Chains A and B, each alone.
Chain A
Amino acid sequence: MVSLREVCGIIIFRWVPLIVLLCVSARAVDRSNFKTCEQSAFCKRQRELKPGRSPYRALLDTLELSDSRITLQLINDNNKVRLLLELYRLQGNMTRVKINELKPLKPRYEVPDVLISDPITETLSVVSQDENSLVLSLGGKDQRLIVSAQPFRLDIVEGPQVLVSLNSRGLLAFEHLRARKDTSISHKISSTVGSMWDSLKKEEDKPGMWEETFKSHTDSKPNGPSSISLDFSLPGVEHVYGIPEHADTLKLKNTDGSDPYRLYNLDVFQYELHNPMALYGAVPVLISHSTDRTMGIFWLNAAETWVDISSNTAGKMMFGKILDFVQVSSEAPQTDVRWISESGIIDVFIMLGPKPADVFTQYASLTGTQSFPPLTALAYHQCRWNYNDQEDVKSVDQGFDEHDIPYDFIWLDIEHADGKRYFTWDPSKFPQPKEMLQGLMDKRRKLVAIVDPHIRVDNGYKIHNEILSKNFYVKNKDGGDYEGWCWPGNSGYPDFTNPEMRAWWASKFAYEQYEGSMENQYVWNDMNEPSVFNGPEVTMHKDALHGGWEHRDVHNLYGLYVQKATADGLVERSGGVERPFVLTRAFFAGSQRYGAVWTGDNAAEWGHLKISIPMCLSLGLAGISFCGADVGGFFKHPSAELLVRWYQAGAYQPFFRAHAHIDTPRREPWLFGPENTALIREAIRQRYALLPYWYQLFYNAHRTGYPVVRPLWVEYPNDVATFSIEDEYLIGKDLLVHPVTDEGATAVTAYLPGKGEVWYDVHTFQKHDGEQSLYIPVTMSSIPVFQRGGSIICRKDRVRRSSSCMENDPYTLYAALNSQGSAEGELYIDDFHTFNFEKAKQFVHRHLSFSANTLSSRNLAPDSQFSTASWIEKIVIIGGSQPSSATLKNAESALEFEFDSTLAVLTLRKPGVNAAADWTVILR
């Protein structure tokens, strides 16, 4: 939900005539509310620094080598300030580079709680050393880390190839902490630090170092300048991706001549498409890809961050020791990336791939994998700001049954709470929440109620009083409780960076604490950037205090902590049994561990439908798989055509929720005439039938960190034609989806990748060759989806009114054969909602394979055990030939079959074996 509407509401008391103008002009994003790099003092200072010879020199004689790391001092020859460089070789082909001040005036912030554990290190050994360089072995096949002393730079090479260079453009810049001039402290410092201070004094203050004003907001900057920057060069790379969240193309653009991509969690009202402005979440992970190698750069910093990307040619910046190792063609393309953050330290993980899957594994080993959601969370969600009251909830619920449309979750936005006091219910609209929840439970359905992190300042509100008495609120620069405007009016912001506060917050979700809540109620955290309507850039003042740290240091982490504390609460309330489901709008690296995200307040426009694909793909590359966009568009009123197309697209995106702004007309699926109702019903049914596949992919994402939905290049890394594709994508590796996202479309052109591969239209079973652009005529009912030849996908074709109702239903196997006549796939089953799959190994994981006319199911996890009532009701083999007989080997019984010779589709009737059993079917 957005801020401006309420901003209007607030201002309206004072300037009634003015507000009309303000609101009407706010049809699209008001860019002047948000900073450009030019308006962000540190970004401006840093960007003024142009590539050139770095003033930094590595002091090789300070080298310290231990089992786990190497440290070295760097000195800036201009101001003599020393930095400490730490180098780590991490298990799984990663290098960690940390740079901090050797002796900072006070500690600089190092991001906690994002890494799942201390990364496991491997021995770094010195291969050679001379007066100006140090060569370290990274193991692997000829991987070296070369430290050049003057000017300081780092190069990671493999054999004769440079993989990545750091500070090769001389943009390492570290604004050391300093005392404010003309203060008594500065004199003390000068006497203790001595000569170093003299050189410091020569440094001139630049505008915005000690105070910065944006619009009417002044940032007091008591610690002065503290920004950091470092450049990375990627020879041979033309394609870089990631660093969500931006409403922009999948392939990142060159930012020469425009603003850098900005990472700063903000509540942006009616965001615009195709620009580098910051949005609600930030994951500082960039993925580079070429036919040779896929790599990643993870810049672990939670402060405001800007990322510049430019194209270059390799070889320009090669000199010194590095030339002993590598051969560089000066013609080779190169991508340069520069990271700039406002505070903290440089702590960067270079994930060396080399394959896309390796990078995912590497990143997952650092920040964890996607949480494994309960199955129901993968089904369809019906949301609106707001379902008005219990009666409304009931009638919408009935509407779905009357129109025979499945759904699992109905959602309540902020109006459900009593005066926006979260954890409470409006007594007149929701007098009997348990009765309502029980009604949903009787239908095996669920509810999500919003709980936002801003807390109404109201001494009649228990939550507020407890936070106050426990002193859990974020503080303003003067030490008082920080207050800002949000939905409830004047609000406090709990300090979620405080683990005690988070534990308290989690305890508030206990059934006896959260009155009226039940086990089929889940939670949604909105506005957790945090959104502060009257704050700078609609967020918190950077000089607000979280314990000893400034908001400046922790900003991008706040949303992650909110979701974490909430998810912890849901786990705790069930005694650790149930998997939680929490949706968040703000996020950071590691947020994948706590639930789902959505792309915020989009609009009912075709462009927003289109951009939902690259936005979620970018998030997936950065570890967050459980992503979706508001189906139908949040703002404005979609046409029936747009709504239908959005359902069709949304049904094939990981998080599938329709949502609408309070000022838009109602848009439940049956309000657009029977034809459109039927189209929407069909789209949602396709989702439900495919839930076993989604579930299995999420299980794998949870285990491995592989994204659930993937850009084509992830699976076809050598096919350059796929590198910029963002209007279609893969679900897992076996389904290719090209949703219709154009108004009035009569056809789409889909690129089917893979030389020698075949693809089958999942609706018609028509076969198409890979590595071609396929022209596909479409009607309003078309959702172009293709199954890869060589795959077996399990579906549940008995679609019922909620996913829970389908738990014990039988599976149909769709085996699409490749040109060798074989196929394989997986089937994953558990209880669909508890942690028992992990704690007690209660699950079924089968490998299904078809080759040489034999289809069999093999146990992938022999030490697991789970019994399911589900069985195999049908097997559809696509692209094979007609057998004379089909035998289920276990029972030695013949299976009846049908063969459609025009499409080469063989249907085996009712094998009837249990889905957890070993079985084999032999065709002759």
Chain B
Amino acid sequence: MTCLHLLLTLVFAVSLGTPVEIQRPRGVPLTKKPFYEENKPFTCLDGSRTIPFDRVNDDYCDCKDGSDEPGTAACPNGSFHCTNAGYRPMFIPSSRINDGICDCCDTTDEYNSGAKCENTCKELGLKERDVLQKMAEITKEGFLLKQQLIEEAKKGREEKQGKVTDMQENKKQLEEKVEALRTVKETAEQPEKEAKERHLKAWEEQKAAIRLEKDKAKMAEAFLELDDNADGFVSVSELQSHAELDPDADGTLTETEVQGLMGGAAQVDTSTFESVWTNIKDKYHSESQPEEPAPVETPPEEVKEPVVDNDSEPFPEDDISEEEDEDEDDEDDYHEDDDKVLPTVKTPEKSHEDGEAMLPYDPDTQTLIDAAQKARDDFEDSEKALREMDDQIRNIEKELSFDFGPDAEFTYLYSQCYELTTSEYIYRLCPFNRVSQKPKYGGSETNLGTWGSWSGPENNKYLVMKYEHGTGCWQGPNRSTTVKLTCGKETVVTSTSEPSRCEYLMEFTTPAVCQEPANMDLLPHGHEEL
């Protein structure tokens, strides 16, 4: 305290390259020197009061604005100016004067604390100039790169816009073509349909005739078999030997039951056997065929079972019916396959029933079918082309709609990805798309956010990108990532961190944010180096 009298200091100021000693109270910047006139009453800079000059820097706060103590810590709101010759001058809060911590590189803030400060201004100055120079070089080169990027983006944009225009023209043509082909297809399908129906009808009729004939043959055969005594009549007792015909399935075929089957007659001849055959043909077992392994009730159950199961398992049924539909529609195409597949997969009755496939189409019908199929193929191809064209246009339009910066300088980042590998993770930044994190040694990828918006400060929103709505966190928010952009020659992710749970921070250098170098003086030097 005792040494805290008014202290006038010798200060070196850099002005026009020549150090000049200017006397003024400690902590006063050169610009404010006129307010501190020695041996004249001092008026607080806020004008609140006037005090004798010996109360300036007397380590007691007299002015509310702290202006009477620029060189002591007495005022809570004061500030101290250090000249920092060789480096940058700065203001520090008064509370940092003589607090034992070296704040000013010229050591002037610690004049009475016992802190051992060294004047580091020269070093800092050199270092800063070095850094500034490097920065300037980077900025300059980056800025040049940026110009190229802008140029490329401009070209690219024009190209793309041209392409979109072209494509939209082509699209119109394609649309017309699709419509034309649709008409062709529909025109070709009508006769095809009619011809197919004709063919099918004829085939059904033919099939019915064949079936009838087969039944008759079977009936005759059965008659012969049943007529054990070969008297040309089938009697009640002859029929009774076929236990499988038991109508109530109680295990015994009674005489009454047989009479019922025979329509009350005692015996029938070949002509009247027809009505009896109708009653028994479903159950009748030919004696020449070996006995079915499972008697009585098993066969119907085997048939039923899949039906019951279908209720609980809809998918197999769907599959089956679908295939059946296909069979009907595309019989020709899949005929061969069907033959191989049907015996195992399909219900056996259908294929075994007749043992014959539909007859091939007659040449006229086949011609109509071929013509229609070609029209269908052509139509579908054109439709597909139109869809693809639409996708392309949409993609380009989406790209064109992005805010790639005032001069579209960020365009080149689009559809690119940049990775940074840390000790644990691989981070991946795909600008305008998403940010993700993947464990280095296996494990699934985590979404750290998808493109949200530019969210830099008001004066330049293009310094920060925000990616949002990533994978959710337990008891927390969805992951999000803030990407800070700094000027650099290269486009690289330089660091990642997670300052707050699930809120990531990424630093990213790109020439696209390099500002035009302010100091033109440096340019010639730069050129020399280049």
Using a CB–CB distance below 8 Å, which chain A residues touch chain B? 8, 23, 388-389, 391-392, 404, 428, 442-444, 662-666, 797-801, 804-806, 808-810, 869, 871, 873-874, 909-910, 912
Contacts and interface: CB of A to CB of B under 8 A. Distances in A.
Contact of B60 (A388, A869, A873): A873
A663 B501 contact: yes
A444 B100 contact: yes
A810 B99 CA distance: 13
Contacts of B95: 404, 798-801, 805
Given A797-B76, A873-B60, 12 more contacts: A8-B474, A388-B497, A392-B499, A404-B95, A443-B101, A444-B99, A663-B475, A663-B476, A663-B502, A665-B477, A873-B59, A910-B58
Given A799-B95, A801-B96, A873 B476 contact: no
B498 interface: yes
B66 to A, nearest CB: 11
A665 B500 contact: yes
24 contacts: A8-B474, A23-B475, A391-B497, A392-B497, A404-B93, A428-B423, A442-B101, A662-B501, A663-B474, A663-B475, A663-B502, A664-B500, A665-B500, A798-B95, A800-B73, A800-B95, A800-B96, A801-B96, A801-B99, A805-B99, A805-B101, A871-B1, A874-B60, A910-B60
Contacts of B503: 665-666
A663 B498 CA distance: 11
Nearest to A427: B423
Given A664-B501, A801-B96, A809 B475 contact: no
A391 B499 CA distance: 10
Given A663-B501, A804-B100, A799 B1 contact: no
Given A442-B101, A663-B475, A909 B60 contact: yes
Contacts of B423: 428
A444 B101 contact: yes
B479 to A, nearest CB: 12
Interface in B487-509: 497-503
A contacts with B: majority SS: loop
A444 B1 CA distance: 22
A797 B58 CA distance: 16
B74 interface: yes
A460 B112 CA distance: 51
B520 interface: no
Interface in B458-484: 473-477
Contacts of B500: 664-666
* Top-9 shortest CB links A-B: A805-B99, A666-B500, A800-B95, A910-B60, A663-B501, A663-B476, A665-B500, A800-B99, A871-B1
A444 B115 CA distance: 11
Contacts of A805: 95, 99-101
B499 A388 contact: yes
Contacts of A665: 477, 500-501, 503
Contacts of B498: 388
Given A444-B101, A800-B95, A873 B74 contact: yes
B100 A912 contact: no
A912 B93 CA distance: 23
Contacts of B497: 388-389, 391-392
Nearest to A20: B474
Contacts of B113: 808
Contacts of A392: 497, 499
Given A798-B95, A800-B95, A871-B1, A23 B101 contact: no
B92 to A, nearest CB: 10
B contacts with A: majority SS: loop
Interface residues of B, number: 27
A180 B30 CA distance: 92
A910 B4 CA distance: 13
A806 B499 CA distance: 32
A799 B60 CA distance: 14
Most buried by A among B100, B423, B477, B498: B100
A74 to B, nearest CB: 55
Contacts of A662: 501
B75 to A, nearest CB: 9
B100 to A, nearest CB: 6
A869 B59 CA distance: 14
Contacts of B499: 388, 392, 666
A442 B501 CA distance: 30
A666 B58 CA distance: 43
Contacts of A873: 59-60, 74
A307 to B, nearest CB: 35
A663 B99 CA distance: 37
B473 A809 contact: no
Contacts of A810: 1
Interface in B1-18: 1
Most buried by B among A389, A428, A665, A871: A665
Interface in B52-91: 58-60, 73-74, 76
Contacts of A797: 76
Nearest to B503: A665
B1 A912 contact: yes
A809 B76 CA distance: 13
Contacts of B474: 8, 23, 663
A20 to B, nearest CB: 9
B284 to A, nearest CB: 60
A801 B99 CA distance: 9
A806 B95 CA distance: 9
B437 to A, nearest CB: 15
B329 to A, nearest CB: 45
B475 A798 contact: no
B201 to A, nearest CB: 60
B411 to A, nearest CB: 33
Contacts of B73: 798, 800, 809
A144 B100 CA distance: 62
Nearest to B114: A808
Nearest to B94: A798
A909 B60 CA distance: 8
A391 B497 CA distance: 10
B196 to A, nearest CB: 55
A829 to B, nearest CB: 15
Given A23-B475, A428-B423, A442-B101, A799 B501 contact: no
Interface in B216-238: none
B56 to A, nearest CB: 14
B101 A869 contact: no
A541 to B, nearest CB: 29
A15 B476 CA distance: 21
A444 to B, nearest CB: 6
Contacts of A443: 101
A656 B113 CA distance: 28
Contacts of A799: 76, 95
A910 B55 CA distance: 11
Contacts of A800: 73, 95-96, 99
A805 B100 CA distance: 6
Interface string B166-187: 0000000000000000000000
A520 to B, nearest CB: 14
A798 B76 contact: yes
A33 to B, nearest CB: 18
Nearest to B423: A428
A443 B115 CA distance: 11
A683 B281 CA distance: 105
A630 to B, nearest CB: 17
Contacts of A910: 58, 60
A800 B74 CA distance: 11
A684 to B, nearest CB: 13
A893 to B, nearest CB: 15
A799 B96 CA distance: 10
A805 B95 CA distance: 9
Nearest to B495: A391
B63 to A, nearest CB: 13
A810 B61 CA distance: 12
A864 to B, nearest CB: 22
